[in-house]
């Protein structure tokens, strides 16, 4: 079976083709470069203008025709509404005109599943750090649970906003990484709240620090502080779940300083860090196609009316029916006796006990 996957949650447009044996036959990407932050309608216009060409390029890369495709998948959310709708409309059009099934998938879970496909990671804690998302995710009780996440802006957005304010260019992450190599540490606010993270204060403090410190020092310290926060939450997720693998995902995860910090932490705990190849780390169409394929194989079917986009599609909203029982973690989860009947629900405060 061949699946064409369309990714278009934010400024990147991706079209990938994957076969059911997990071979990536095509993975084309086109990025909208905004002048002043991402304007959702401008990004959506970019996607609408480029999607026919990108589908053609993808089919050419895979040496296929549209008629050879058996399934079409798209990012249903989370993301920017106008961008999501371009991918959804395109996917629905292909589905109806070619009479093939259509499947809307969760973008964050697609990152995790392509990592499980293309690295040796089987049951990882995923540190997902991108332009629009920052989450620490792991599989428990038939769902991908969010163990920690940003309370305000995503880490990539923090780097992008910082770089934009200092006119360093877009995307900010690679520029900050380069400058950080020559910098020294200055203290900046470190903000981990329970298992959650906050980056907006750190970004403001970094901009203030740049008024009196060399930009290299601020970039270095911004990275050190933000990455240490992510590593702390990831480490606690590992300790909590007993898992032995960390999977990195998202565009920020290409950063070699972050990769080193995560590897040091997992090394100290006897765990392993896995990083998918660069083209599969950031947003891409192949991961959407792969998740579509495994969901379809597990029996997930959607009608057109089920494919409405969901800007706030939560990672833990999806019933993970495609993971075989042998991969279900041996940790037993029981509701906390004191919290089971609160309005926050049992999942707000699970107690995990090893069997």
Q: Is 87 in the site for ligand AMP (CB under 6 A)?
A: no
Choose between 47 and 220: whose C-beta lies nearer to Mg ion. 47
Q: Is 78 in the site for ligand AMP (CB under 6 A)?
A: no
Choose between 28 and 130: whose C-beta lies nearer to Mg ion. 130
Contacting range for ligand AMP; rule: CB under 6 A; set: 65-73, 210-218, 247-255, 339-347: 247-255
Q: Measured from the CB of residue 250, what is the shortest distance to Mg ion in angstroms?
A: 5
Q: Is 149 in the site for ligand AMP (CB under 6 A)?
A: no
Residue 122: name the closest of 271, 296, 288 by CA: 271
Q: Is 148 in the site for ligand AMP (CB under 6 A)?
A: no
CA dist 334 and 342 (Å) reads: 15
Pattern 253-292, binding to ligand AMP, x per CB under 6 A?
A: -xx--------------------------xx---------
Q: Measured from the CB of residue 346, what is the shortest distance to ligand AMP in angstroms?
A: 31
CA dist 16 and 289 (Å) reads: 6
Q: Is 241 in the site for ligand AMP (CB under 6 A)?
A: no
Q: Measured from the CB of residue 129, what is the shortest distance to ligand AMP in angstroms?
A: 8
Q: Is 77 in the site for ligand AMP (CB under 6 A)?
A: no
Choose between 114 and 218: whose C-beta lies nearer to Mg ion. 114
């Amino acid at each position: 079976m061949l699946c064409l996957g369309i990714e278009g949650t934010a400024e990147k447009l991706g079209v990938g083709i994957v076969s059911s044996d997990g071979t990536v036959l095509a993975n084309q990407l086109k990025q909208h470069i905004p002048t002043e932050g991402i304007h959702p309608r401008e990004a959506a216009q970019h996607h609408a203008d480029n999607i026919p060409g990108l589908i053609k390029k993808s089919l050419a890369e895979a040496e296929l025709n549209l008629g050879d495709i058996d399934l079409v998948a798209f990012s249903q959310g989370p993301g920017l509404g106008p961008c999501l709708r371009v991918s959804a409309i395109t996917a629905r059009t292909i589905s109806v005109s070619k009479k093939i099934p259509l499947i809307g998938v969760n973008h964050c879970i697609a990152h995790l599943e392509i990592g499980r496909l293309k690295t040796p990671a089987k049951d990882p804690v995923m540190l997902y750090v991108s332009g629009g998302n920052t989450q620490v995710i792991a599989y428990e009780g038939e769902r991908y649970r969010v163990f920690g996440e940003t309370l305000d802006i995503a880490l990539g957005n923090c780097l992008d906003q910082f770089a934009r304010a200092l006119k360093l260019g877009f995307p900010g992450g690679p520029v900050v990484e380069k400058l950080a190599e020559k910098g020294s540490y200055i203290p900046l606010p470190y903000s981990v709240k329970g298992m959650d993270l906050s980056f907006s204060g750190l970004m403001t403090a970094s901009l203030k620090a740049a008024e009196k410190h060399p930009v290299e020092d601020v970039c270095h310290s911004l990275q050190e502080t933000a990455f240490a926060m992510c590593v702390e939450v990831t480490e606690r997720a590992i300790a909590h779940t007993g898992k032995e693998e960390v999977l990195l995902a998202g565009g920020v995860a290409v950063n070699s300083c972050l990769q080193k910090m995560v590897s040091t932490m997992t090394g100290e705990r006897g765990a392993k860090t896995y990083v998918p190849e660069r083209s599969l780390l950031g947003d891409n169409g192949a991961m959407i196609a792969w998740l579509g394929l495994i969901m379809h194989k597990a029996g997930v079917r959607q009608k057109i009316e089920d494919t409405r986009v969901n800007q706030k599609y939560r990672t833990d909203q999806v019933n993970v029916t495609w993971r075989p029982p042998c991969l279900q973690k041996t940790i037993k989860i029981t509701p906390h006796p004191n919290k089971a009947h609160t309005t926050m629900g049992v999942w707000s405060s699970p107690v995990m006990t090893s069997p």
